[in-house]
Amino acid sequence: MTPTARKASPKRRRPTPAPTAPVALGTYEIPGAAKRHPVLGLGLWGLGRWGPEDEARTKATIGRAWELGLRWFDTAEVYGNGRSERLLGEVLGRAAGTADDAYVVTKVSWEHLRPSQVRASLINSLERLGRRSVDLYLVHAPDRHVPLRETMSALESLYREGKVGAIGVSNFTVEELEEAARHLSEARLAVNQVEYNLFYREEGENVRDYCRTHRILVEAYTPLARGLLHGRYVDGARIPAEVRRYSHRLFEGDRLPEILARTRTLRELAEREEVPLASIALHWLEGRGAAPIVGMSRPEQVDGNLRAWAVRPSARVLAEAEAIARGDRA
């Protein structure tokens, strides 16, 4: 079928069946880390921000992720003021084998970067998680009022004690990465977690070469651009205020029409190639050497995102998607 014929009579993509057994997901090896790092993660930023009535759904989402083979869970002490960590700990505490199989990541707040605060924050996080250690502990964001020398020294002490399997950072520039690395003598920087997707690339592209050279894994949060790269909002659905607030101008009035136009073109590409739009977004990041952390708040979203991950678009399709998202052809 030629592209022209497809436009005249769109071919519906055959849905990929929902997973019924754990999905085989790969891992990355990071120098100095106690465990290999999974390629795809569940981000718990939203889980724990809702009222008590949503806890059952939150726990069901984490449970479904575990059931289908997702092992990387990303949380932070500030998510729901610790509630996200607590809910994660409750679910994993009931799952067999989680001590070895789960890859748990949490973060110390930018407000707690003094040495005594770092230690206290981790102890509190471990208590909420019900764990003796975490696989990766991140500085959530830098604080220019606290020298990185102090923070990294405190983190390295926790690493030596076995309370953290690896040390990482989030939202760091190249200059901040260089400084943080200078203050580690035994441990290494394992990860830099940044916002990174087809539409918002600045943070990821700015650190990508440095991280690759120094074997620091880039973790990509908001890989689906707050749902845009699932095709959400392109047909006129209301965009929640919270989505607008945390989206680096993607949903602002002066830019939104163009972003929606590019998203529609990306969706047309996905339909033409018979792949989920999310497959393109996630595997584009994988091709850039980044590990996506996908926010999911319902069990069915876990199924959908794992279906998307199971489909690998061709290099040609990913290159075309990059051009579309960049605005070369919208």
Q: What is the pLDDT of residues 107-126, one digit of tens each?
A: 999 999 999 999 999 999 99
CATH code at 32-247+277-314: 3.20.20.100
**Three-state DSSP class for residue 125:** helix
Residue 47 is predicted with a pLDDT of 52
Q: Which region among 12-26, 140-154, 273-287, 316-330 has the lowest average model confidence (pLDDT)?
A: 12-26
Mean pLDDT of 210-239: 94
Residue 325 is predicted with a pLDDT of 96
Structural tokens at position 227: 């749902």
pLDDT above 60: residue 16: no
CA angle 104, 47, 260 (to 5 degrees): 110
What is the number of alpha carbons within 13 Å of residue 209 lying toward its C-beta? 4
Mean pLDDT of 49-68: 85
Q: Per-residue pLDDT tens for 71-94?
A: 999 999 999 899 999 999 999 998
Report CA 298 to chain centroid distance, whole Å: 16
Structural tokens at position 160: 């030596």
Closest CA to 283 of 323, 247, 329, 315: 315
DSSP 14: P
DSSP 164: B
Closest CA to 159 of 182, 134, 131, 125: 134
Mean pLDDT of 148-159: 98
Which residues are CB-contacts of 9 (< 8 A; sequence separation ≥ 6)?
Answer: none
Q: Over pLDDT 90: what percentage of the chain?
A: 75
Structural tokens at position 55: 């806890």
DSSP run (H or E) holding 69: none
Domain boundaries of the chain, sorted by first residue: 32-247+277-314
Contact 197, 280 (CB under 8 A): no
pTM of the model: 0.91
Q: 72-74 and 103-108: which strand pairing? A: parallel
pLDDT above 70: residue 183: yes
State the Cα–Cα distance between residues 206 and 288, nearest whole angstrom. 12
State the Cα–Cα distance between residues 209 and 6, nearest whole angstrom. 39
